[in-house]
Structure 1
Amino acid sequence: MNLELRHLEAVCRIAEAGSLSRAARRLGVSQPALSAQLRRIERVAGGELFLRGRQGVEPTPLGEFVLRKARLVLGEMDALAAGARAIAPHPSLRLGCILLVLVDRLLGELEGLLAGQDIHVSVEQSATTLTRQLGAGKYDAALYGEVNDYEVPLPQGIMARTLIPKEPFCVRLSATHPLAARERIALAELADESWMMLVEDDDGGPEALVAACAKVGFTPRLRHRVTDRKMHYDLIAAGRAISLSQPTAPTAEGTVLRPLAGDPVTGRIRIAWNRAAVSTRQAELLYRAAAHAYLADVDNNPFHRAWWDARPELHPTLDEREP
């Protein structure tokens, strides 16, 4: 095996995280997979790179040497990519997103604000994978969500800005559900339900739901993991599951959205970008486009419009003048 850039990145992430488990989360892989990869890297390097202990990992002298060289190589590769994009006649904007409601409108907003520039938008299932790929150069910018106090780790060289600092998650359930007629639902009333989550909820969502449910006396049954939006709605309409939802989500036949009393689970939306690939002006235009896309969905549900209007301090800061 020859050492590749991904191997050097893994070594650097392990050192930065201080433990294999934290590094695995940041890299979007399982801990056993990262441990196996590290053993292969160490065989090529000729010895142990880290000492493992109860408190985490510490680089060995060989590890310190490999880390110094790895950081130099990765820095040069970042500089090469940034330099090439800087002199390209019409560089495209590569935007990665997780499946947020505003993504449906975002491309149209970007085409209006970044007229003449090629824009490529891709959807990832994992926020951790998304930000890792942003740091690795696959994307120039990323749009993602975080739940409650959880913060998605960001690689070096990445800038971030909060678009929506807080929004209350609501619940989507079947229109025939006994609680569907309620204007607002207490979380404790959903103790016997089966919950549907995304395939990879690494934005803090499952942990936040479990913690909120524990406060009112039950453990939620997280049974379904579905990424297809239509299947997601169909399962809920059939009464087979319920799910947390952004309050800006659209209506779906056979389902209803209801706010949760006391806002036990909240989210925020953030934008991150590689400062070597995205200019200050582009970052501002991206923020503006995402803000317009979010605001266009506030009226999807009257309960969220009322909540939103009562909290002007949460609204995006929009200066419509050219940056």
Structure 2
Amino acid sequence: MQLELRHLQAVCRIAEAGSLGAAARRLGVSQPALSAQLRRIERVTGGELFVRGRGGVQPTALGQFVLAKARRVLSEMEALGAEARAHAAGTPLRLGCILLVLLDGLLAETDRSMSGQEITVDLEDSVTALARMLGAGRYDAIVYGEVNDHEVPLPEGAVARTLIPKEPFCIRLSAGHPLAGLECIGLADLAGESWMTLVEDDDGGPEALVAACAKAGFVPSLRYRITDRKMHYDLIAAGRAVSLSQPTAPAVAGTVMRPLAGAPVTGRIRLAWNRSAVSAGQAELLYRAAARAYVAGVGNHAFHKDWWDAHPEVHPLVD
């Protein structure tokens, strides 16, 4: 028997999972089948690759050597596939996104910085679905958000890079609201309001809002969940709802944006890509395009521009 890529992948999955059972589940095979495969691999390599114990498996010295070589080979193969795909004529880069404020600017930036590379863009309401479709090969890269401490699990083979590590969510309310004249609003002062819930319900946002309101002493009335931007803004302008918002959201007639005291809800924006489909160069171009798109909206509201200038540690790398 000669070693093949699937054998190297199996060895890496066993090491990452820490047990044959967990590795078998990740690989979609039975544990006996994986054990038999490992024995065949060990016959080729000339010795045991893992020491089995009550706490799982640990690589032997030989196993460490094989793992280092396997990871290098698999990384090179992934890079080969991504770079070949990048050079293939007529192969579009498939980008999946949730409805982030920077999306409009991102499309313009990718057209400018990745000219000659066709990019298709689809919107999803679910971050979980977005990550799942990245793993299934439906998307080559995704741009998504996470709220507070929530982390979106990514599929194997995906690499993530944080674009914006922290942004304080603010509140959008009617320009005629009694609190509209304040420079900063306490969350407890919004206890009696009807809330526009966040469009994504699996990025940690709803839980973060409910938890923050609980600390402020009330349970929010989550009345509306509307994806249409115009209807969303019209309801707020009419005084029928308030909504959490990214601080880079544009100004809208009839509404105002105000920071929340203590920044009880924060978000971050991340870019993830499939290593076998997106080259390192393409990933860098995507990152910089998204960074420029975000920074372009920083000045939409003076309060966020002040916060941004005071927190250089959250600034992305831009040209």
TM-score when normalising by structure 1 = 0.73
Matched, 1:233 2:233: yes
- Relative to structure 1, the CA distance from residue 62 to residue 157 in structure 2 (aligned partners, 3 Å threshold; closer, same or farther) is closer
1:139 and 2:139 are equivalent in the alignment: yes
Distance 1:98 1:238 in 2: 26
Instruction: Tell me the distance in 2 between the aligned counterparts of 1:82 and 1:280.
Output: 8
For structure 1, the residue ranges without an aligned partner over 5 or more in a row are 1-15, 18-49, 51-57, 69-74
Cα deviation code 1:127-164 (max 9, x no counterpart): 11111111111111000000000001101100000000
Look up the match of 2:257: 257
The amino acid that maps onto 1:138 is R
Q: Which residue of 2 aligns with 1:311?
A: 311
Q: Which moved more, 1:308-317 or 1:195-204?
A: 195-204
Q: Distance in 2 between matches of 1:301 and 1:150?
A: 26
Change (3 A) 1:62 1:289: closer
Distance 1:136 1:146 in 2: 21
What residue in structure 1 maps to residue 129 of structure 2?
A: 129
Amino acid at match of 2:266: T
Cα distance in structure 2, aligned partners of 1:316 and 1:83: 25
Report the alpha carbon displacement of residue 94 of structure 1 after superposing the two structures with TM. 0.9
Q: Which residue of 1 aligns with 2:111?
A: 111
By how many angstroms is 1:232 displaced?
0.5
Q: 1:83 to 1:281 in 2, by over 3 A?
A: closer
TM-score scaled by structure 2?
0.74
Name the residue aligned to 1:293: 293
After superposition, the C-alpha distances for 1:218-271 in whole angstroms (9 at most, x for unaligned) are 111111111111111011111111110000000112111110011010000000
Write the distance in 1 (CA, Å) between the matches of 2:31 and 2:232.
48
Measured after TM superposition, the shift of residue 84 of structure 1 is 8.2
Letter in 1 for 2:269: I
Q: Counterparts of 1:62 and 1:310 in 2: how far apart (Å)?
A: 52
The residue number in structure 2 matching 1:217 is 217
Which deviates further from its counterpart, 283-292 or 208-217? Answer: 208-217
Match for residue 22 of structure 1?
none
| Residues 65 and 104 (structure 1), Cα distance of their counterparts in 2 relative to 1, 3 Å cut | farther
| Alignment RMSD (CA, Å) | 2.8
1:207/1:174 Cα in 2 relative to 1: closer, same or farther (>3 Å)? Answer: same
- The change in CA–CA distance for 1:306 and 1:63 in structure 2 (over 3 A counts) is same
The SS at the match of 1:267 is strand
Q: Distance between the aligned counterparts of 1:82 and 1:290, measured in 2?
A: 20
Q: Equivalents in 1 of 2:200, 2:290: separation in Å?
A: 23
Residue number in structure 2 paired with 1:157 = 157
Could you say which residue in structure 2 is the equivalent of 1:38? none
Q: Distance in 1 between matches of 2:299 and 2:243?
A: 20
What amino acid is the match of 2:132?
Answer: R
**By how many angstroms is 1:284 displaced?**
0.5
Aligned length: 257
Change in 2 beyond 3 A, CA 1:211/1:163: same
User: For the structure 1 residues 176 and 283, does the alpha-carbon distance in structure 2 shift closer, same or farther, using more than 3 Å as the test?
Assistant: same
Structure 2 stretches of 5 or more lacking a match?
1-15, 36-73
CA distance in 2, matches of 1:187, 1:155: 36
Give the share of equivalent positions with the same residue, in percent.
68
Alpha-carbon deviation of 1:83? 9.5
Based on CA coordinates, which of the two structures has the bigger radius of gyration? 2
Q: Residues 221 and 165 from structure 1, CA distance in 2 versus in 1: closer, same or farther, beyond 3 angstroms?
A: same
The alpha-carbon distance between structure 1 residues 304 and 313, as it changes in their structure 2 partners (threshold 3 A), is same
Aligned to 1:89: 89
Partner Cα distance (2:29, 2:313) in 1: 51
Three-state SS of the structure 2 residue aligned to 1:185 is coil
Measured in 1, the distance between the counterparts of 2:276 and 2:220 equals 43
Task: Deviation per CA, 1:190-240: give whole Å up to 9, x if none.
Answer: 011111113442110010011111111111111111111111101111111
